[in-house]
Chains A and B, each alone.
Chain A
Amino acid sequence: MSWWLERTMIIFCWICGFTLLAAITTILGYLLYQGLGSINLRLIFGNTSVVDALLLRKHVFAGLFPAMVGTVAVVTLSVGFAIPVGIAGGIYMAEYARGGVKAVLGFCFDILAGVPSVVIGLSGFALAIFLHRHFSAAIYPSLFISSLSLAVLVLPYIIRSTQFALESLPADTRRIAVALGATKLQNIVYVLIPRSLSAIFSGIILAIGRCAEDTAVIMLTGAVAFAGVPKSLFAQYEALPFYIYYISSQYANQQELLSGYGASLILMLICALLFFVASMTRKGVACQALYRT
């Protein structure tokens, strides 16, 4: 291979690296430059006093508070749905499923993980119409439908991360308790799960991040631009990512646009924070704090 070709390839690689760094620095820098100035209590609470807003005594009109509450509510609910089913499914896949059943189930989860979020949102919407027609006229696209759809979105991630966490344990660890006379369930509860807890936990945190950032699902299943703090499970609600999308297309004045930058920055900080927690957990730092025996 000629010397010149090698040089060109290496230079090309360096150009790629710096292009990527430049792109991401520009994106983050632009967001910080535009948004940092707008982040203050007024951005979040508008003209309402902080205490009144937190105690839900008064409505917050010109602030991000309802959207933040909505995001927290929808993420909590959906993760609440997805974690028990996901972890149970993951344990089944790793410890009980064998042969053909395991292959078929694994194929299903891979397909589910690949389904675009907008399609999951669409089926959530269809579910809402179906329930509205056949069960109760009170059911519309709402917080409940959104959190169910988001739970479906992250379910395959939780199952797979639990499964891989259990499967990657060394074979010795797997055999010791059984050799001492423990049953299969005892082995799972007292040995395998505690040993893989940090990996399972980091999978869950990544799933939370995915719930918090997803926009396509919630915009089809009940997130709206103005709803205030959600009052019931079957009410429409506001959410940060949807607010950002809404502002980008419908902003009326500079003030609103600035709050869009602020919201983007807040959402990004939340996601970055979750991401760091997840990577710290995988390194086992948080594991020791959680599971001290």
Chain B
Amino acid sequence: MANRLEKITEWILTLSALVSAFITVLIFVFLLIFGLPLLQGGQWFDLLASPWSPREGLYGIRPMLLGTVYISLLGMAFAFPLSFGCAALISVFAPRSFGGFLRKVVQLMTGIPTVVYGFVGIFLLVPMVREILQGGSGMCLLTASLMLSILISPTLILFFVDGFDRAPRSHLDAVAALGGNEMQQFIFVILPNAWSNVLSGIVLAFGRVLGDTLIALMIAGNAVQVPGSVLESARTLTAHVALVIAADYDSPEFKSIFACGITLYLFSAMMVVLIRSIGAISGRKKR
């Protein structure tokens, strides 16, 4: 009796894990089935490369693809130095009390809803950019990536701090005993120890920026074009999906959003593979 209970429980637990893993595959299959008409006949690369002009029957997602890449890269370019500085401050340079306070603030920031950032972005940051830079409506690549950098900084900072805190105490003491100061400890002990955390933090955050919908949708302007400067409006793949969803189910526009979905899925899967290989490489080195 007890033995049967053990078996049944193990069976249920196994089933739950398998179902959950199966969902991962199922999502991709769903996207493929709905995007299939576009994928047949080698149209896939045309779709990625061609521009978007429904009047001529072109439903390429190149502008959105480039928009996503530009916004993400610019967002990372703002967020990385900011987060690196903050993380170094928290775990090395700041007095303990201030570092602890900053860490609490950063942890709290991870809980702020994305839509709230977007909302404040529209009514605070967009007018500021418009006034200061005199550039059009203010809804542009620059505004969106500034807000995105605030959104992902907490992720980056927590990853970096985690890596910085991992430096062995004895090595730090050795540097101190040789007369090294905090900065030398940081550069010669803490940083070399933390590189895998720093790298996987960057990859993870990049995945989050690529996949973020609301901020780009709300404050990047959503014009379908390849942005020529940071002050021009852009549309991301994610925003495109959200905007087109309302259209007719059988239209080619509608099918193109599944191409966006597949692209985003593959992007994010690639990030996961990258993080795992970073982890594997650093694990092998330590051994």
Contact = CB atoms under 8 A, between A and B. Distances in A.
Contact of B213 (A17, A85, A117): A117
Interface size class of A (residues with CB under 8 A): 35 or more
B276 A155 contact: no
Contacts of A267: 113, 115-116
Nearest to B20: A89
A117 B212 CA distance: 8
B10 to A, nearest CB: 6
**Which of the listed residues B19, B20, B249, B261 has the most CB atoms from chain A within 10 Å of its own CB?**
B20
A61 interface: no
B153 A20 contact: yes
A85 B23 CA distance: 12
B33 to A, nearest CB: 8
Contacts of B150: 20, 23-24, 27
Contact of A248 (B105, B118, B212, B272): B118
Interface stretch (A42-50, A105-113, A226-234): A105-113
B183 A248 contact: no
B241 A220 contact: yes
B238 A123 contact: no
**Which of the listed residues A19, A86, A122, A155 has the most CB atoms from chain B within 10 Å of its own CB?**
A122
A36 interface: no
Interface in B87-111: 88-90, 93-94, 102, 105-111
B12 to A, nearest CB: 6
Given A20-B82, A248-B218, A116 B16 contact: no
B30 A126 contact: yes
Interface stretch (B1-9, B38-46, B51-59, B167-175): B1-9
Contacts of B261: 118-119, 122-123
A108 B21 contact: yes
A111 B269 contact: yes
A220 B117 contact: no
Nearest to A149: B27
Given A15-B85, A24-B105, A118 B6 contact: no
Contacts of B33: 126
A85 B19 contact: yes
Given A111-B24, A185-B6, A264-B116, A119 B16 contact: no
Contact of A155 (B23, B102, B116, B213): B23
Contact of A30 (B93, B120, B264, B276): B120
Interface pairs A-B: 6 shortest CB-CB: A116-B211, A16-B85, A213-B113, A88-B16, A275-B111, A108-B21
5 contacts: A16-B84, A24-B109, A95-B13, A112-B27, A248-B119
Interface of B: 2, 5-6, 9-10, 12-21, 23-27, 30-31, 33-34, 81-86, 88-90, 93-94, 102, 105-120, 122-124, 150, 153, 181, 183-184, 187, 207, 210-214, 217-218, 238, 241-242, 245, 249, 257-258, 261, 264-265, 268-269, 271-272, 275-276
Interface of A: 1, 6, 9-10, 12-17, 19-21, 23-24, 26-27, 30-31, 34, 84-86, 88-89, 91-93, 95-97, 104-105, 107-123, 125-127, 129-130, 152, 155-156, 159, 183-185, 209, 212-216, 219-220, 241, 244-245, 247-249, 260-261, 264, 267-268, 271-272, 274-275, 279
Given A96-B14, A275-B110, 14 more contacts: A16-B82, A16-B84, A24-B105, A27-B117, A97-B17, A107-B276, A116-B238, A119-B241, A123-B27, A127-B30, A216-B242, A241-B115, A245-B218, A261-B119
